[in-house]
Amino acid sequence: MNPHQTALARANGYALLSDLFLNGVTAENWPTVQQTALLEHLPDDPDFEQLGAVHYDLMSHQIFPYESAFLSEDGMLGGEIANRVTHYFEQIRLPLERAVSEPDHIGWELYALSFLCGAEADAWEDGLQAVALRMQHQQQRFLESHLLRWTPAFLVGIFQQDDHFYAAIGELLWGMLTDHYKHSESVLSRPLTLPDPPDVLANEKAGLREIVEVLIRPCHSGWFISRKDITLLSRRFELPHGFGSREQMMLNLFRSAVQYDALPNLLTQMIKQADLWAESYHRLIEGDVGKFIRPWQDQLLLTKKLFNQILVKLKDSPDSMIDGLD
């Protein structure tokens, strides 16, 4: 394909993925979905209401599709990260039909990337090479400053949810992003780094809540634990986990594990889950995009180290360790 065709194909691809992440499969985008390989993961006569419920559960209850959910140290949505995305949208004069309260949603970030690719395609068609190259620069800047910094962890989280359709969407998106990146010139001024997680075991006053706070925040732990993940762990070991936020459910699960002498088994199983995440990260590495994945792998290794340290302490001095965690 020539540059115009490549930019146009990217614009259309990102636009569809933006719509799917924002709205799921709908009657409006169904004709376009039917023209893609995603069709094999859907029924011939889809129930759009049911598909909408699946989308809502996955994106609202399980894996939060926000940059701030993955990169903020306080675990809160929005904040400075969302403000930076909003500022970028203003810089590129992104046309929006309505106010966007959550600009760092994966759907809106892909919408912005689609807009930039469309602007590039228009420039090539009009013979405006300088404008086209400027749009390429803006695309690369957005990829390196935002999308590639958090989508590896977000997509691996999707892959762990056992939903074939959204896993296929994730594979398609990662393929597009990596192809886009390897055919662009890097403008990255500094490598991606993630914050050091608190050394909770070095804090004598730290307990289960502090451990859970590390585990539940992706930028510290290297993974995203969904409500479904917590529920499956609870069922596996027949431990109550209660209701509420992910953090509260995980805290309840750990407290139950302590109460019923199941903490070593729980931690051993979570190490196995961390290994599954590590395998998924490894599969995503292709060429230069590895520099965006390795920081997540490093955080995951620290999480496994934390689990193993707790297991050793439980083995050597179980009573004192449990008293310290309580």
pLDDT at 318 over 80: no
C-alpha–C-alpha distance, residues 253 and 251, integer Å: 5
Cβ contacts of 132 within 8 Å, gap of 6 or more: 3, 7, 120, 123, 124
pLDDT at 251 over 70: yes
C-alpha–C-alpha distance, residues 74 and 68, integer Å: 9
Q: Give 144's pLDDT tier (boundaries 50, 70, 90).
A: very high
C-alpha–C-alpha distance, residues 225 and 228, integer Å: 8
C-alpha–C-alpha distance, residues 220 and 197, integer Å: 5
105 phi and psi angles, rounded to 5 deg: -65, 140
**Mean predicted lDDT score pLDDT of the chain:** 92
Q: What residues does CATH 1.10.3480.10 cover in the chain?
A: 3-182
- What would the mean pLDDT of 273-296 be, rounded to a whole number? 93
Q: Which two tokens mark 110? A: 């892909």
pLDDT at 124 over 90: yes
pLDDT at 171 over 80: yes
Structural fold of domain 3-182: TorD-like (1.10.3480)
Identify the residue with better confidence: 151 or 44. 151
- What would the mean pLDDT of 291-312 be, rounded to a whole number? 95
pLDDT at 319 over 70: no
pLDDT of the residue at 322? 56
pLDDT of the residue at 200? 87
Q: Which two tokens mark 23? A: 């709205």
Identify the residue with better confidence: 96 or 250. 250
Cβ contacts of 189 within 8 Å, gap of 6 or more: none
pLDDT of the residue at 320? 55
pLDDT at 173 over 80: yes
pLDDT of the residue at 98? 67
pLDDT of the residue at 19? 97
